[in-house]
Amino acid sequence: MKCIITMRRILVLALCLVAGACGSSSTSRKEVPDSALTDAEFLKKLNANQGSSSAGNNISPPPTTEGRTPQSQIAVPDVPLANSVTGTVAPIQLTFDAGLVMRSGDVKQVAREEFRLLSRSLIDILRDAQFDVAKYHLSGFGLSYKMGLGKANDPETVAGDLVRKYTITSTVTDFSGKGHLTAPVGMYYIFAISTLGDNIVIWNFKIDLKIDQSITLDQNNAAEAL
């Protein structure tokens, strides 16, 4: 009887040792959830995973961020500073160069052309005027606007009136295609129509004016170029 009890104790002790070993093994393999990692630890883990997954392909790994200042910590001015005396924000200065690159490689400056800064998109204006953009395209409105072909109450005439209504400011480029616009901080659309021979280019360029800036306008950022 005493021998049986001793054997039982040995068996129970062995089971406890096995269970303890398994528990410590599973504990050692338990991963820390991503939500508990710091940003640096998470980026290190992410880079390690990307490195192992891309080991068999020809895609270059992303550049390392070690030793760099995180993008979220780089100070970027969102809006211009207010005047310390009056408390007002100075108007934003926008300068631009307008030109068209021809197939020959030559650049034709958009000289003596009117450019408007609109508070609404030309597309929305045309929709409000019931102008069928899908059927007549922007060039249909552009030619009518440029040459004054629309009759009273025609969609293109109504659209032209709305363009003038939503104009914040306007300018005419000089002979080198340069222009300058001034406006308060805000989101705007640069609108212009230029014709060159049989070609017509229409801009409806969206721009967020927060700081003074200079841009280039050509057929690559035009709404339509034919």
Report in angstroms the alpha-carbon separations of 146 from 56, 69, 78, 81, 138.
58, 51, 37, 39, 12
Alpha-carbon gap, residue 206 to 189, rounded angstroms: 4
| Minimum mean pLDDT range among 11-15, 44-48, 200-204, 212-216 | 44-48
Q: Would you state the pLDDT for residue 71?
A: 40
pLDDT of residue 35 exceeding 90: no
Q: Would you state the pLDDT for residue 66?
A: 47
Q: Would you state the pLDDT for residue 198?
A: 84
| Minimum mean pLDDT range among 114-123, 138-147, 212-221 | 138-147
Taking 3-state DSSP, the helix, strand and coil percentages for the chain, each rounded to the nearest 5, stand at 40, 25, 35
Alpha-carbon gap, residue 207 to 213, rounded angstroms: 10
Instruction: Name every residue whose Cβ is closer than 8 Å to that of residue 223 and which is 6 or more positions away in sequence.
Output: 122, 123, 138, 202, 203, 204, 205
Q: Would you state the pLDDT for residue 7?
A: 56
Per-residue pLDDT tens for 147-161? 888 888 899 999 999
Query: Where are any strands of DSSP class E within the chain?
Result: 92-101, 107-109, 114-118, 167-172, 178-183, 186-196, 199-209, 213-217, 224-225
What's the pTM value of the predicted model, to 2 decimals?
0.63
Q: Which residue has the higher pLDDT, 12 or 169?
A: 169
pLDDT of residue 93 exceeding 90: yes
Q: Would you state the pLDDT for residue 148?
A: 84
Q: Would you state the pLDDT for residue 158?
A: 96
Q: Would you state the pLDDT for residue 107?
A: 93
pLDDT of residue 217 exceeding 90: yes
Q: Which two tokens stand for residue 3?
A: 């021998």
Q: Which residue has the higher pLDDT, 25 or 32?
A: 32
Mean pLDDT, the chain, as a whole number? Answer: 76
User: Per-residue pLDDT averaged across 117-126, rounded?
Assistant: 97
Q: Would you state the pLDDT for residue 150?
A: 80
